[in-house]
Structure 1
Amino acid sequence: MGFFDSNIRIYPEGARSGEDIDTRIELPKLREDVANGSISHVICTHPDRFSRDLTDKLIACREFEKNGAKLVFTDTEYENSPEGKLFFNIMSAIAEYELALIKKRTVRGRLAKVRDQKKIMPMRVAPFGYDKDENGQLVINDTERQYVLMIYEWYVLERLTLRQIGERLYGKVMPKRGESKNWNATSISRILTSEIYIGKYYYNRRASQKVRGELTKGGNPKKKYSMREEKDWLMVEIDPIVDIEMWKLAQKQRVQNDTNKHVGNTKYEYLLKSLLKCGHCGRRFDATTYSGSHNRDTGETTKIRHYRCPNTVPRKYGPEIKKCVAVSLNAEQIEGYIWNRVIQIITDPDKFINKFRGQGDEAILAIVAQKELFEKNLTIKLNALDKAEKKYYEAQLEADEKRIEKHIKDYKKDIALLEQEIENCQAKIDAHRMEELTSDQIIYMVQKLREQISDGVEVPFEIKRNIVEILFEEIIVTVNRDGGDDPTSSETKIDITSVGVFDKLSQDGINYGVCSQPQKIRQYRRRPRRPDLHWNDWPDQSDRELPAR
């Protein structure tokens, strides 16, 4: 073409995609130089290298022609004529179609490998606790596995925060990517939430779309992500590190942490916040304060902590809106009463833990044996179904087909029933394992509490709260008046019942596998026209008997 090397300026782009013209690095420089008049010819191997997008390609080429730069392609002929431009546009449209087709085939091939071959697609870094073998599959890293188990135990049993876990990990083991020896909350949270650690690797959960004209800090095209429908997910089983029950407890703990993150603040702390529930309308009690006595010397008014049903002061107005009949509860008094009941477990934990664990063991062994029997029968039925289906296809008489078809229908019905029974047994076994882990939580927290008490140190609010959260799912408060819902009735009785582990520990016997009813903690009387429950209205705190409901 008659050009000297000194006249040639190269704009290398390597393997960068030609899909988006705005995210290219060198092409904008070329367009700027052409606009400045310093380029007379633009030489390219093929029109596709400008852009795979027809619109982008036409814009760039028109800019070049407008500024007097001639287009030259080495791998194809191009004439600056109506016919040449038509051919150029046709080739560009085909290139755009080919790009879409390549993407579709690539995605389809990946999905087929995951679905049929259970192959894990390449990832930049394996999750913490795993390594990639020579085939790209995930295998457990024994050293990191120990720290994954520690993270779950610290979070579930010791109730440590993400910050406290990160401080314990610092200096012992580095995060997977090795970019820093410091752990962050995101990395730890990912370990505590990812289903990879219970042996479930999901592919095709997220859909990505490039953000046109934007790049990441690393210079790659920026993408935005959205979740696909669950039916489109593909799951590959890998070796688990954490038990499913421990993982579920961690998720339950996360929900509690989100719910209770404002339980305590620098000014007021509420031991039973989000746990007290109105037995009349079902609303959670609010934690609030009322004004108390006024100190004339300091000019300050004391605040008294209370729990109250929000429907006692509804935000909707009108004659059809009824106020809840629940009463306001003095926080100090009800917290003291509940905590004294908790101390009952602290003083003699073995009695309750042995009952909690021991009586479930014999029953769970029977359930395991029952599950094994169901599985054995299921295998027999599946084999019989397989034989019946083969006979059905070999049958020559219509009468034989109908008879075999009836057998197939019966086999499928029996198989469905057996699978349901096996699922029910497994649910009971999982529940038993969850209760064992819960008792481990209680033992750990009780030991920690007893150490505090023996040292003469006041028990921190956080420890009290953790124990209460383990023991109680909810505490139900119900008002019973002689005069019905008349607040001026001569006598008022208030029932306090509980749902959760405390309920199980307080019962004389445990019928394992059957959901227990809420346990009545105490019934006490409340004098009429009193603004609140007073300490004198509470029963003798030494009475430790918990009558069954």
Structure 2
Amino acid sequence: MIALYGRVSTEEQATKGYSLRNQIEECRRKANTKEIVEYVDDGYSGEFLERPALTKLREDVKGNRITKVYCYDPDRLSRKLMNALIIDDEFRSKGVDIIYINGEYADSPEGKLFYSLRGAISEFEKAKITERMSSGRKRKAQEGKIVKNHKMYGYDYDKEKAMYVVNEHEASVVKMIFHKFVVEQIGMNSIAKELTAKGVKTKTGKDVWHRQVVRQILMNESYTGDYYQNKWNTEGMIRNKYTDNPDNKIKMRHRDKSEWIPINIPQIIERTQYEEAAELLKQSRRRYAKAAVNQYLLSGLLRCGTCGNTMVGTKTTWWGKPHFIYTDRKSHAGAKHPGCVLDIKMEKLDEEVWKDVEQFVYNPELLFKYDNTKDVSMELKQAEKLKEDIKKAEKGRKKLYSLFAISDDLDEEELKKEIVELQDKQRKAEERLMEVEKEINKNKNDRDIDSIKETINELISKEDRITFDVKKSLIRVLVKEVIVEGKEKININYF
């Protein structure tokens, strides 16, 4: 219901000629509707708020019976500016618009002051609300809780715990995307097409995947378990929806990293795989626009059995001649594990792995006759070796702690450095042990032989002969990982 409010005091009627009839008629004309309730205080001073009609109007606004109020000008509500502001704010806080008819009032000194104060109070309240909300969100984040559900693919949001929980189906898709991109070296567009063809739904329930959605997943560091809040500064962006000119829009920007609030969430992707994906994304334009300068058959599949580092292909020079090798060395800035300096000739390793894989290319049925306990036995041995490395690291640290406690002659900084290195080695061995134990417990007999045959036949039929690219794809269909145990021994883990 729409309300009209009018007021006039006895003094005003006598000295200033104010007319209630004129006020009501002007309000009715402006409202332009018959569904109107009139609230009229005849002969009441505007100095006080205790007036019968105004009191009833305020009660009806609080009771949500009024949707809009028409009034001739603010001094009809009260002659005191602060009282008029209080009532104006009271109505607007209930979602009730209050419209003043007297246009001249807005141009008067009183009117300018009224609207200036109302605007200032509104801005002040808005700023206080924003500050309280921001402070509350920061406090919540500092308590290790997720402030807002960003509907991240791979996770569901537990509202009671304010935490992300793994969505097993979506997490399996995330793992597949990283595997295809990093290990199989399939482009983002092809991955998106495959997901669409398989009928996998996006987070919003759409049937079609786009390259950019796949890219966003590959770029999302949160899948490693490291999630940051208070990362983006969105101050002032709310006004963008009222601005058509793109030059006037405020862009979202990063806060300084010191202001980010880290939160631990369930991990889906290993950090090493995320970092490999990040590196490949940097090179994606070159990688997918033209052939790579140097091609490595086993890229993304190799791991050193001693230190656990992934092995990458690289070009080196011996006696002035170029040679291609796989190495576990990590010499880039910030590398935590430099590796155990294992280098092996690319040609030798490629040939050995392909010879083993080739038997399954033409006879995939052998995968099911293949003694799966061979893989499990190999992984059990690897697990035992890792456990031994962990014990050695623990024992070494205890010795160093004892030396640190009883000796005054040793270099304190050097001892600390050695302790940290052993802690690092132990942590990495423990992480690798968890991975190996997962593989041991994994059921390896749930493969679809028809699907494998179809994929292999499709790859072979593309060319008259098995080219380098076909070999590379075939290996990635069948091989999960190649563990290099020194220069003479390799272990191939099949899917």
What is the TM-score normalised by the length of structure 2?
A: 0.50
- TM-score if structure 1 supplies the norm length? 0.46
